[in-house]
Chains A and B, each alone.
Chain A
Amino acid sequence: MTVTIVSSDSKEVHIGFDQPFCIIGERINPTGRQILAQEMRDGDYSRVERDALAQVSAGAHMLDVNAGIPLADEPLILADCVKLVQSLTDVPLSIDSSVVAALEAGLSVYQGKALVNSVTGEDDRLESVLPLVKQYGAAVVAISNDETGISEDPNVRYEVAKKIVERAEDHGIARVDVVVDPLVMPIGAINTAGLQVVHLVKRLREELQVNTTCGASNVSFGLPNRNGLNAAFLAMAIGAGMTSAITNPMHVEMMQAIMGANVMMGHDPDCRHWIDRYRSEGVIAGSAREGRRSGRRRQTQL
């Protein structure tokens, strides 16, 4: 069974078919966050600190770190943030940039085995990113598009993913260290976006036998109650075999959907995490059973 192991210097996270869904916190990303972008450029990382701690306490197993700020020294800022976040938390990181020099700067200061986010299927991208992934012994997110664009045909996207996985193996990167992003499109503009992902995730899992991840919130772009839709999408994607997502763990609806999907997939034996999280909500106030039960409860941790 496919297991991708990523780590910090003190903690390993296993992404895999038989593992609870891996939540990669997306908040440390200045795209679309003007205040954060300005602060990061000015070397003020206080918001990065707060976002890191809050996401971990909300249940993120990993954190994505992105410093894509226009006209800024992205390699420097990304490396600063990687060091800072690693000094605050023990969760492994996903180092996120489309700038190769920034990926390298982030990797060079990283303690442990990182997830590189990301490589796409164009030849020049493959040949610049994959050697770095190999050099630093990292894992990598493979996004299933290339110079021809993002196909609406999931089978074309499958072929791109396959090409990336094979090229990674040519570079000496094991298949288990490639986590494929099938690309989640806005359902409000493309009515088949949800089914595309379901179809593709199944093929990726059964035929290519790779782990998968996605930017889940894309699906709800331009629609009301985005968290509700994101939650439905995540539950479906997990049902189809998706093994991780880059998403916002601060959103209660999504976290509930993910925890529920873990139960349904048989990845939460005896429903222990679910019960621990929601036990008190089912207890009638003043019930005598509450004290006795909680007193004898075994402590569990995800």
Chain B
Amino acid sequence: MTDNHSEQADEIDLNALPDDELVEQMHDDLYDGLKEEIEEGTNILLQRGWDAGKVLEDALVEGMRIVGIDFRDGILFVPEVLMSANAMKGGMAILRPLLAETGASTIGKMVIGTVKGDIHDIGKNLVAMMMEGAGFEVINIGINNGVENYLEAIEEHKPDILGMSALLTTTMPYMKVVIDTLVEQGIRDDFIVLVGGAPLNEEFSQAVGADAYCRDAAVAVETAKQMMHEKRVHTASS
């Protein structure tokens, strides 16, 4: 007894839809987590001469924005959002080489990892998947990361955002060690630092010198987008 989504989707010929209806259909398909349909829609838009950046923004990121809202509001649930994120990744795999070619950037790049002494990674992986789903490029450096791992990753990948996760009251103070090291090296302000994990709160995030505490994956995506926007505005005006 498996739901057969594709049977119904096959009845819609994506090729026959005008651009605006196709984009709307892709929003629906993202919502339903239909990876093949998203890949097909992405290819059709590219064939029609859309540039990769516009496909990303109008079809994929906008679709995932709707998914994010309904996740935040408790209308969609974790397995559904993971399917949407997976569908988004299908589209991104097609767009990424094209975006790299034209020098157009993705909406941002994030390095994310669980801090030293802490091996919890489900929540952190969920954030990573949601961030990818929202169009960010995510480098997930896993669990039990000492400050040297974070430094190495940001040196190599030059991210916009550094995300740290901790699930224990004993390990969360390590976030301060990492941030203090960034300050010492004079590179703290090069990154947006987001922190999360069950025992954290807003006050703790301020105390360790992070830019924001993110209560859950949906909040992380919203916060990241908001802060990237502010960063761009700031950069443009300075």
Contacts and interface: CB of A to CB of B under 8 A. Distances in A.
B is a partner of A: yes
B119 interface: yes
Given A97-B169, A222-B78, A189 B143 contact: no
Residue from the set B77, B122, B203, B204 with the largest chain A CB neighbour count within 10 Å: B122
Contacts of B203: 70-71
B200 interface: yes
Contacts of A31: 198-199
Contacts of B199: 31, 68-70
B79 A189 contact: yes
B122 A71 contact: no
B43 to A, nearest CB: 29
Given A74-B169, A145-B119, A32 B79 contact: no
B169 A221 contact: no
B119 A149 contact: yes
Nearest to A121: B119
Give the interface SS of chain B, mostly helix, strand, loop or mixed.
Answer: loop
A188 B77 contact: yes
A139 B73 CA distance: 42
A221 B119 CA distance: 18
A150 B74 CA distance: 28
Nearest to A120: B119
B19 to A, nearest CB: 35
A300 interface: no
A148 interface: yes
B1 to A, nearest CB: 16
Interface string B99-140: 000000000000000000001111001100000000000000
A224 interface: yes
A186 interface: yes
A186 B78 contact: yes
B15 interface: no
Q: Is the interface of A mostly helix, strand, loop or mixed?
A: loop
**In the complex, which of the residues A97, A189, A222 has the most CB atoms of chain B within 10 Å of its own CB atom?**
A222
A31 B171 CA distance: 15
B119 A147 contact: yes
A188 B119 contact: no
Contacts of B233: none
A147 B144 contact: yes
Contacts of A32: 198
B207 interface: yes
B153 interface: no
B215 to A, nearest CB: 9
B122 A185 contact: yes
Contacts of A186: 78, 122
A2 B185 CA distance: 56
Nearest to B169: A68
B77 A223 contact: yes
A71 B200 CA distance: 10
A222 B201 contact: no
A69 B170 CA distance: 11
A189 B216 CA distance: 14
Nearest to A187: B79
A70 B119 contact: no
A287 interface: no
A70 B172 contact: yes
A223 B81 CA distance: 11
Contacts of B200: 70
Interface string B72-97: 00100111001000000000000000
B206 to A, nearest CB: 10
10 contacts: A71-B203, A98-B169, A99-B169, A147-B119, A149-B119, A185-B122, A188-B82, A222-B126, A224-B74, A224-B77
What are the nearest 3 A-B pairs in CB distance? A222-B78, A188-B78, A70-B204
Interface of B: 74, 77-79, 82, 119-122, 125-126, 143-144, 168-172, 198-201, 203-204, 207
